[in-house]
Amino acid sequence: MVQTSTPAEVGGIPTDPQATRRRVTHRILWGLAAAFVVLSVFQLGITPQRFTDALPRASFVWDRMWPPAIDDGGALSTAVVESLQIAIVGTAFGILLSIPLALIAARNVTPFAPLSLAMKGFAAFVRAVPALIWAFLFIMAVGLGPTAGILALAVNSTGMLVKVYAEALEEIPMGPIEALQASGASRSHIAFQGILPSVVRLFIAWSVFRLDINVRYSTILGVVGAGGIGWELTRAASLSRYDVALGITVVIFILVMATEAVSQWLRRRVDDDTAFRVEE
Amino acid sequence: MASELNTRALQQVTSESTTPALLSVRNLNKTYPDGTQALHDVSLDIPSGQLVAVIGLSGAGKSTFMRCVNRLVEPTSGQIVFDGQDVTRARRGDLRRIRRQMGMIFQQFNLVQRLPVVTNVLHGRLGYTSAVRGCLGRFPQHEVEQALEMLAQVGLADQAFKRCSELSGGQMQRVGIARAMMQGAALILADEPIASLDVSSSEKVMTILKEVATAQRITTIVNLHQVDFAQQFADRVIGLRDGSVFCDMPTDGLTEDLIRDLYYGHVPQQDEED
C-alpha cells in the first residue's frame, strides 16, 4: 500500500519494491529526527533573543578573563600533579585489574567458555557508564577527594582495557601454546611464557592510549569533587575570578597536549618495534 | 649407509619381543564431536630406541594418533601405557609429569616468535620449573648452558640470542628439536616435522632427528608425508589408512605394492571428505 504512493512509481519508473520500502523508512526516520530537534528547541526555550541577551554577559566575562592569571601557583601546581597522579594510578590499577579479567574474557584462553561471554558483557556494562558517573558513585562510597577519582578511572579503564586486551589475546597464534602444553608446562607458565610475549606490545600500546584518555578525564573529575585541577577551575568560576579560570584552562590545555605528544611518541616506539610482525 | 640402517632396523625389530615396550597402545579409538572417526582400534607396541615413521594420506589419523599419545587430543576409548604409566587415566598433575617425558615437534615449529631462540629452547624445561621461576623465565645457569649446548648440537650456536622470528623455517625446526631434546625426554613425537620445509632443510632436520634417536637412544615417532624420507631414515614404518593400522613392519619390508595400496588402494565407500 505504501509502495503505490512513492514518487518513483508516480514517475512511471519501475523500482525494486524493497528499495522503495527502505527509502520510505529512511524518510520517516529523518522526519522524526527533524521533528524532535525542532520540538526540543521550542521546549528548551531556545530563541534568538536568548543568544542576543547572553552577548553582553559574555563580553563582560570575556573582558574579565584577560589577561589570564595564575592566582596561587603553588596550589595550582599541586593540583596539576594530583591530576596526573590520579590518571597514572587509576590507569595502573585499571591495567592490573584488566589483565587477569582479559585472560578470562578471551575466547581462546578462557578457563571456562561461558565465563568468557559473561566477562565481555560485564566489561561492556562498565564501559557504558561514563567516567563522571563512576566518580559520583565513588564519591558517595569513599567521600570527596582523589581516591574517588582514582577508583572511577580504574573502573572505567577496565571496561575498555578488558575488551581490547581480550581482542589482542584472541589474535595470538595457538601453536606455541600447544607446544608448551605438550612439554608439561603449567597454566601459569603458559600464560607468562607463551601468551604474554605475543601480546605485550599491543597491551603497552593500548595502555598508553588509555593513560592519554585518563589524563583528559582527570582534569575534569575535580569538577565533581574527585580531586585534581578541575576543582581549582570550579573554585575560580564560583569566585567569579574569570582570569584565573582562563589561566587554569590554559594549563589544562598544555597538560593534555603534552600528554598526547608523549603518548604518541611512546606508541610510535612500540609500533616500530612491532613493524616486523607484518612479515610473519 | 642405507644397508647399515636396515640391518640395525632388523635387529631392533627382532628384539621387540624381548624388551618391554616403551609405548604400548591398545584398541585406541578417537571419534571427533562432528562424527569423524579419526582412529579405529589402533594397537601398537614401540620399544625403546626405535625411530618409527607413521605414514599415510592426510586425514588417515597420523596427527590424531600422535596427539592422543600425549593427550593433546582426548582419546574416545582405548589405553595408552607409556613407560609403565597409564596415560589415558592420568589426572592433571600426573599428565604434566608424563608430558614432560615426551618431547613434541610440530609442522609449524610452534615457537614463541617474540622470544629469543635460547628462551624457546629453555621452554623445554618448564615442566620441571617452579611456578615463579618459570613464569619469569629465570632458568638456572646450568640449564642455560645446557640449552646453548643443545643449540650447538643442532648447528645454531651463533643464533642463540636472536629473536625466533628472524630465523628461517629450517632453523626454526632445529630450535624445535633442541626444545624437545631439552626436556630430556624418553620419547619424541614429531608431527610432520618437514612438511613445511624445502628438501635440503628436510634432509638436515631428519638427519638430526635420526642422530638423536640413535646416539641418545630416544624413541622417536615421526609422522611423515614423504615415503622416501621414511624409507631413508626410519627403522620401522607404520602405515595408517582410514584410522586403522594398515601395515607395520621394518622399513625394508615396505614394498612398492604396499605403498600403492596404502596411498591409492582406497575402497571408495570408505572415502571421507578429508
pLDDT digits (tens, 9 = 90+) for A25-54: 999 999 999 999 999 888 888 777 777 888
A147 and A218 housed in the same domain: yes
Residue B131 contacts A where some CB pair is shorter than 8 Å: yes
Instruction: Note whether A15 and A9 are within 8 A (CB).
Output: yes
DSSP state of B163: B
* pLDDT of residue A62 exceeding 90: no
A185 and B134 in contact by Cβ < 8 A? yes
In sequence order, the 6+-apart residues with CB closer than 8 A to the CB of A237 are A245
- In Å, how far is A209's CA from the nearest CA of chain B? 22
Q: Which class for B123: exposed (0-12), middle (13-18), buried (19 or more C-beta within 10 A)?
A: buried
Distance from CA of A182 to the nearest CA of B (A): 6
First to last CA, chain B: 37
Closest to B113 in 3D by CA, of A251, A188, A148, A200 = A200
Q: Which domain holds residue A130?
A: 73-279
**Which pLDDT tens digit goes with each residue over B133-145?**
888 888 889 999 9
B217 inside 8 A of chain A by CB: no
Q: What ipTM does the predicted assembly reach?
A: 0.83
Domain boundary residue, one of A31, A65, A99:
A65
User: Count of A–B CB contacts within 8 Å?
Assistant: 93
Torsion sign across C-alpha atoms B81, B82, B86, B90: negative
The backbone torsions φ and ψ at residue B220, rounded to the nearest 5 degrees and listed phi first, read -130, 130
Residue of A nearest to B102 (CA): A183
Query: Residue range B9-19: average pLDDT?
Result: 47
Domain end (from A46, A65, A84): A65
Q: Which whole number is the average pLDDT over B36-64?
A: 90
Q: Give the pLDDT confidence score for residue A272 in this predicted structure.
A: 61
Nearest alpha carbon to residue B122 among B259, B136, A240: B136
Q: Is the pLDDT of residue A168 over 60?
A: yes
Stretch 44-73 of chain B: residues touching chain A, C-beta under 8 Å: 70, 72
pLDDT grade for A55, boundaries at 50, 70 and 90: confident
Residue B74: all three cell numbers together: 582426548
| Same domain, yes or no: A155 and A19 | no
Residue B17, pLDDT score: 47
Contacts of B92 in chain A (CB under 8 A): none
Residue pointed to by grid coordinates 582400534 = B41
Number of domains chain A contains: 2
pLDDT confidence of residue A14: 62
Query: Residue A198: closest CA among chain B residues belongs to which residue?
Result: B114
Same domain for A39 and A81, yes or no, is no
Residue B265 has pLDDT above 60, yes or no: yes
Residues A10 and A146 in one domain: no
Average pLDDT over every residue of A54-74: 79
**In a shared domain, residues A21 and A57:** yes
Q: How confident is the model at residue A13 (pLDDT cuts 50, 70, 90)?
A: low
Q: Which residues of A touch B96 (CB under 8 A)?
A: 184-186
Are A188 and B106 within 8 A, CB to CB? Answer: no
Residues A92 and A194 in one domain: yes
A142 has a pLDDT exceeding 90? no
Mark whether A139 and A197 lie in a shared domain.
Answer: yes
Residue range A2-19: average pLDDT?
59
| Minimum distance, in Å, between the CA of residue B124 and any CA atom of chain A | 6
Please tell me the distance from the alpha carbon of residue B216 to that of residue B210, in angstroms, as a whole number. Answer: 10
B56: Cβ contacts below 8 Å, ≥ 6 apart: B62, B239, B240, B241, B246, B262, B263
Q: What is the CATH number of the domain that holds A265?
A: 1.10.3720.10
The verdict on a CB contact (< 8 Å) between B134 and A189 is: yes
Kindly list the residues from chain B whose CB atom is less than 8 angstroms away from the CB atom of residue A111: none
B222: nearest Cα among B73, B89, B53: B53
* pLDDT averaged over every residue in chain A: 83
State whether A58 and A77 are in the same domain. no
Tell me the C-alpha distance between A31 and A44, whole Å.
20
Q: In the prediction, which pLDDT does A131 show?
A: 83
User: Are A93 and A231 within one domain?
Assistant: yes
Per-residue pLDDT at B12 exceeds 60: no
Asked if the model's pLDDT at residue B266 lies above 60, the reply is no
Residues A125 and A157 in one domain: yes
Are A130 and A26 contained in the same domain?
Answer: no
pLDDT tens digit sequence for B163-215? 888 899 889 999 999 999 999 889 999 999 998 888 888 998 999 999 888 88
Q: Do A185 and B106 touch (CB under 8 A)?
A: no
Q: Which of B102, B126, B165 sits opposite A280 (nearest CB)?
A: B165
Q: Are residues A273 and A161 in the same domain?
A: yes
pLDDT of residue B31 exceeding 70, the answer is: yes
Percent of chain B past pLDDT 70, that is, above it, reads 90
Q: A11, A41, A65: which is the final residue of a domain?
A: A65
